[in-house]
Chain A
Amino acid sequence: MSPLDWGVLLGSLTLFVAYGAWRSRETRDLAGFLVAGRQMPWPMVLLSVMATQASAVTFLATPGQGYMSGLSFLQFYLGLPVAMVVLSATLVPLYQRLRVKTAYEFLEKRFDGKTRTLATALFLTQRGLAAGITLYAPSLLFSVVLGWDLHWTCAAMGLLVVAVTTLGGSRAVSHTHALQFCIIMATMVGAFVLVMRGMPEGLGLGGALAVAGREGKLEALDLSFDPASRYNLWAGLLGGFFLQMSYFGTDQSQVGRLLTARSTAESRMGLLANGLLKVPMQAFILLLGVMVYVSHQFTPGPMFANPAEVAKVTAGVHAPAWHEAEARYAQADAAHGAALERWLDARRAGAAPLEQAADAERIAARTAREAARTDAIAALQATDAAANANDTNHRFLAFVLAAFPAGLIGLVLAAVFAAAMNATSSEIHALTSTTIVDVIERIPGLPRGERALLAWSRAASLFWVGFAVLFAENAGRAGSLVEAVNILGSLFYGTILGIFLSGFLLRGANGTHVFIAALVAEAAVLLCWKLTPISFLWYNLVGCVLTVGIAALLATLVRPRRAAAA
């Protein structure tokens, strides 16, 4: 990195820390720490809700997802706007009316302590592991750019998150989110401009889209109903709806953001604005990845974008096989680029036979290129059986490091760091709030004073960061991080949502009915994951429907003794 990049990076980081500390100078009590005194206006709620989702995973892995699979991932978000509407009409007014600090308090009011404990345990497990993935993404970036050891980078990131979260609590999280989110989006827009400026002369956005379409990167909508296919309209609308309902309505990392709002109306506005903006924002980030892919068709990109794995294979006994595959890849890549240019020329001239001939050459070159990459990955895995063969998360980063001018790389690093702080501090804050309100405060005999609880909350933050750091070190093997974090969530979200919905929909169900139903549903979801080809978005629907269905059945069949006698 150049001195200018270092200056931009350190300047931006200082700005974030100072701003967070200044905005949170009034955090003196637990209510301020947990729900920011319930004083946030809706634009701040919106930014905080969006920034909580926009982790470094979004910044690094979503363009990578666009690069590798095109726009199809956009279908994942189609259930989100519907979920925002349903939540605004149902859960938001309920949470505001009950004046709860965490979503799980509601479960004890409606059912009993054990149901609340079960939902809390499911949430803490899921969110603690997800925090590891969120922490892994920026650590990966910094370890690649700065050449640091990945394990130590994870630990250093964890310590910084502790500093941000424990010093300011919810108010600091909300306010620094707004600033950091703006920098992240500005950097994305800057990256898009740079990609487009790097395209061949005369290609333009229309030509770039035509190339992307020809390469199969703009298949945004798949109408086929196939439960094994990860992304299609139905999985996005139905499975995605249940996932987003659970994430925004029961996951404390998001419910905590909503509870900071001044009123029900401000919470609703924040959620509905998120429903309007989220899909276009993700479309833009995926399109950025697609455009990076298009630019790599004309200027050679790396065969494999994870430099740590490349260094291992080129230093090992399989280096000759790797280099041979690399040479074939370069040759096929050049042929592919030349065929694409001929295809574009023929298309502009309206010469259909030439267009078809060039397209056939393009497909042949692309097949040869993919075969060379497959051979290279085989050499990589022969060198180290545990090697990470998925470079999706490195694709956008490799482009940034190769194409961005000095100074901007520092800004990108600062933005990724900001994204990491946003999401991880929100997650740790949510884990901490839940641990305090749903675990510590319910243990008899522990000191209950305001100061004692604030001290407990800081200790809990430290614990959860340690937990996340431990898991982060294994997160790299999970493939595309943006998929990994959602697959992990989908294993638990359906059941958690089912517990909440049982509370609203089943008047006759008691805590024991819902507790048993949730355990059975969770086992079924885990079996689906392990034993069937069903895609992860459907787990949310399966978990939720089974929990509500079994609880309803139990409520009908097993009535409390007193009611039965009556």
Chain B
Amino acid sequence: MNTAEGPADDGADPPPPVLGRWSRLYAVVLLVLAATILLMGWVSVRYR
């Protein structure tokens, strides 16, 4: 089986996706960061 980490079985396989099955988890981490920045902005304005 071709995985994001391993080499392709043979030359006919398409190249593995760069992010593979982890892309959703990466997106979750980045979305939480975006939400955190928004929350920090809200706190700064709300408690000025």
Show the binding face of A for B, using Cβ within 8 Å.
71, 74-75, 78, 81-82, 84-85, 88-89, 93, 96-97, 209-210, 212-214, 218-222, 233, 264, 268, 272, 275-276, 279-280
Contacts and interface: CB of A to CB of B under 8 A. Distances in A.
A338 B25 CA distance: 50
Interface in B1-48: 4-5, 18-19, 22, 25-26, 28-30, 32-33, 36-37, 40-41, 43-44, 46-48
5 contacts: A81-B30, A214-B47, A221-B41, A221-B44, A264-B5
A21 B33 CA distance: 39
A353 to B, nearest CB: 20
B29 A81 contact: yes
Contact of A220 (B18, B25, B43): B43
B43 A218 contact: yes
Given A212-B47, A279-B36, A85 B29 contact: yes
Contacts of B25: 272
Given A78-B37, A89-B22, 13 more contacts: A74-B40, A75-B40, A85-B30, A88-B22, A89-B19, A97-B5, A213-B48, A221-B37, A221-B43, A221-B44, A272-B26, A275-B29, A276-B28
Interface of B: 4-5, 18-19, 22, 25-26, 28-30, 32-33, 36-37, 40-41, 43-44, 46-48
A213 B40 CA distance: 13
A82 B33 contact: yes
Contacts of B46: 213
A84 B22 CA distance: 12
B42 to A, nearest CB: 9
B47 A268 contact: no
Contact of B43 (A71, A82, A96, A233): A71
Contact of A81 (B33, B40, B41, B44): B33
Contacts of A279: 33, 36
Among A97, A210, A220, A222, chain B packs the most CB atoms within 10 A around the CB of A220
A71 B44 CA distance: 9
A347 B40 CA distance: 24
B8 to A, nearest CB: 14
Contacts of A221: 37, 40-41, 43-44
Nearest to B38: A221
Contacts of A233: 37
A78 B33 contact: yes
Contacts of A84: 29
